[in-house]
């Protein structure tokens, strides 16, 4: 990680993260456009630095067509900046897609929703059930599940062909690591937080499935499944788990899958394997191949 950052030409900023900007850059060697997370580590506490190291380590090992590709990490000690170079997703994020549709009062076509759900499920399947890379001496073997823990439309990026690239693993954790309280790192309105996290502060693969259900619901209804004016009211609604039917144009099959993911009892929710076995998702997967 001792590359000089001169090999990248800075272009415009494309987003602002909790610790700095996300900037478009051009790699001078081959002209390739990349995204660069620019983190000022002087502003970070010890915990946050550990978190960042964990994020980079998790991303480094996750290689999947529907997960943002991590390319390299550059440390600029002189200015105390860490740069994380990753694949650039020029289609923006899913939050912007939802916002555009909401503003023009147009529902998102069901076909597109299934495509997004299928690709997000494949990305999550890699996180939850992926294998180690393996080498000459060690064959690949199942590795500890990686929990994303911050699934929401803002963290689902799209490439030029509108393929899903799951990103922002800033709160993700491997299940082998000791569980830390989620609340201490969680910022923002927890629209996508699962009932078990609210009641017992526990988080497992099924909590990611809950959040996936929230994302798909929001793509259909153009608003999250649970809305409230205060955190307290929101918590109550989430724990009750009462959700409205999707707008009338969406199929029973879609309603059914979304409901299955939004069950208050985590054990009743499908795993990524269950979802990938659903007829419509299998079909969608075939079409993507």
Catalytic sites, residue numbers: 150
Q: Least distance to Mg ion from the beta carbon of 93, Å? A: 8
Which residues does residue 74 pair with via DSSP β-bridges, in sequence order? 83
155 is an interface residue for Mg ion by CB under 5 A? yes
195 is an interface residue for ligand ADP by CB under 6 A? no
State the Rg of the chain over Cα.
19
Single out the residue of 38, 87, 168, 208 in contact with Mg ion (rule: CB under 5 A).
168
Q: Least distance to ligand ADP from the beta carbon of 156, Å? A: 9
59 is an interface residue for ligand ADP by CB under 6 A? no
54 is an interface residue for ligand ADP by CB under 6 A? no
CB atoms within 10 A of CB 265: 10
Cβ atoms of 147 and 272 closer than 8 Å: no
Single out the residue of 88, 191, 192, 203 in contact with ligand ADP (rule: CB under 6 A).
88
Nearest partner of 192 among 162, 161, 219, judged by Cα = 219
- Could you tell me the CA-to-CA distances from 136 to 64, 133, 139, 140 in Å, in that order? 21, 10, 7, 10
Contact region for Mg ion (CB under 5 A) — 117-125, 151-159, 244-252, 265-273?
151-159
Q: Least distance to ligand ADP from the beta carbon of 70, Å? A: 10
Q: Could you give the count of Cα atoms lying within 13 Å of 103 in the half-sphere of its Cβ?
A: 6
Contact region for Mg ion (CB under 5 A) — 137-145, 163-171, 175-183, 233-241?
163-171
């Amino acid at each position: 990680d001792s590359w000089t950052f001169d090999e990248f030409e800075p272009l415009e900023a494309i987003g602002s993260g909790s610790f700095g900007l996300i900037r478009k850059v051009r790699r001078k060697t081959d002209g390739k456009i990349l995204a660069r997370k620019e983190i000022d580590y002087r502003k970070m506490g010890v915990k946050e630095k550990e978190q960042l190291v964990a994020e980079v380590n998790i991303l480094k090992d996750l290689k999947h067509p529907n997960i943002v590709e991590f390319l390299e990490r550059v440390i600029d000690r002189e200015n105390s900046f860490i740069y994380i170079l990753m694949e650039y997703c020029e289609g923006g994020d899913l939050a912007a897609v939802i916002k555009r549709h909401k503003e023009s009062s147009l529902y998102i076509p069901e076909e597109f929703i299934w495509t997004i759900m299928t690709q997000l499920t494949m990305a999550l399947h890699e996180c939850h059930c992926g294998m180690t890379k393996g080498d000459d001496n060690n064959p690949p073997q199942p590795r500890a599940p990686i929990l994303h823990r911050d699934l929401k439309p803002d963290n689902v990026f799209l490439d030029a062909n509108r393929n899903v690239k799951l990103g922002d693993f800033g709160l993700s954790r491997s299940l082998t690591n000791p569980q830390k309280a989620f609340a201490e790192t969680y910022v923002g309105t927890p629209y996508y937080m699962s009932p078990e996290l609210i009641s017992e502060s526990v988080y497992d693969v099924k909590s990611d499935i809950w959040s996936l259900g929230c994302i798909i619901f929001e793509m259909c209804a153009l608003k999250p499944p649970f809305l409230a004016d205060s955190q307290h009211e929101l918590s109550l609604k989430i724990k009750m788990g009462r959700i409205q039917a999707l707008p009338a144009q969406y199929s029973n099959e879609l309603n059914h899958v979304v409901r299955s993911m939004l069950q208050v009892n985590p054990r009743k929710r499908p795993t990524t394997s269950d979802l990938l076995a659903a007829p419509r998702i299998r079909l969608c997967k075939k079409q993507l191949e």
